Amino acid sequence: MRASTFRRLLNLWPPFLVNAIRLQSLSDDYTEAKVVLRLRPWNRNYVKSQFGGNLFAMVDPFWMLLAMHQLGRDYYVWDKAGAIDFVAPGYEDVYAHFKLEASVVDELRTAAAGGEKVLRWFETEVTTASGQLIARVRKQLYVRLKPKAR
């Protein structure tokens, strides 16, 4: 699927649409994505800052999606684990940037070549427009070459 079409569809996905999460950009080769979480009255927590669940949701699928599209259909790619460190309250819109380098994709392919499962951690920072760190998120991916491709 073309990245522009995928971006539009993901922005209509109810968990993102309702919570003011937008995929701002997605490179044509699925190497890079930029996401924004707009602060709205319906997605604030009790103290009027960004709700922690939405901070995690805004970054949740992107390492997996980038890896899936770059590795191709011969690989299983799943989220295995995740962790978030809340650094500061977010009282404004927040942003996350993902960049999956070709060298990392090559490492995943090489490690999975024999059919073994590969576990790899990826990190993302959630920041304000001015660069203030709001949260650090770690996601672990599971990658494995499908049996028919071994």
pLDDT at residue 11, as a whole number: 97
CA distances from 27 to 7, 97, 129 (A): 10, 12, 20
Exposure b/e, 102-111, CB count within 10 A at least 16 = b: eebbeebbeb
When the pLDDT of each residue in the chain is averaged and rounded to a whole number, the result is: 97
3-class DSSP assignment, residue 80: strand
pLDDT surpassing 90 at residue 1: no
pLDDT at residue 128 above 90? yes
- Chain-centroid distance of CA 5 in Å reads 17
Helices (H), the chain: 3-12, 14-18, 52-59, 62-71, 102-112
- Rounded mean pLDDT of 62-66? 98
pLDDT at 150: 85
pTM of the model: 0.93
Domains in the chain (CATH in brackets) are 3-149 (3.10.129.10)
Question: Half-sphere exposure (CA, 13 Å, Cβ side) for 113?
Answer: 6
Average pLDDT of the residues in 102-124: 97
The confidence score (pLDDT) of residue 81 equals: 98
| 2-42: pLDDT as tens digits | 999 999 999 999 999 999 999 999 999 999 999 999 999 99
Query: What is the Cα–Cα distance from 129 to 50, expressed in whole angstroms?
Result: 14
